[in-house]
Structure 1
Amino acid sequence: MAEQNEMIDILNDKQKVLTEDWTQYWQQFSSYDTWQFWLQIIFFITPLVVL
C-alpha cells in the first residue's frame, strides 16, 4: 500500500509540473495578446460575417 501511495504522489507531482508547463506555453504562444491569436479569431469570424 505504501508503494501505491508513493507512486500516486509521484504522478501528482508530475501532473502539477505538466499543468504549469502548459499554462506557461499558452501564455507565451497562444494568449490573447499575441498576433497569432487574433489572426485565428479573424479567420473564424470573417466567414461568419460573409455568410
Structure 2
Amino acid sequence: MLFNSIDFAIFLPIVFAIYWGLKKHLKAQNFFIAVASYVFMVCGIGVFFF
C-alpha cells in the first residue's frame, strides 16, 4: 500500500479512530497498532508471512 493511494486514505482514518478509541487500554492499543502495521505491509506486498 502506497502512502499516496486511495487505500491508504481510507485505511489511516479508520486505524487512527480505532487507536484513539482504545486510549484507555494500553495493551489493546499496542496489539491493534501491531496488527494494523502488519495489514499495511501485507497490502503493500500482497503476501502473508506467518
Per the TM superposition, whether the score is higher than 0.5 is no
Larger Rg: 1
Higher relative contact order, structure no. (Cα contacts within 8 Å, ≥ 6 residues apart): 2
TM range (shorter): 0.3 to 0.5
TM-score under structure 2 normalisation?
0.43
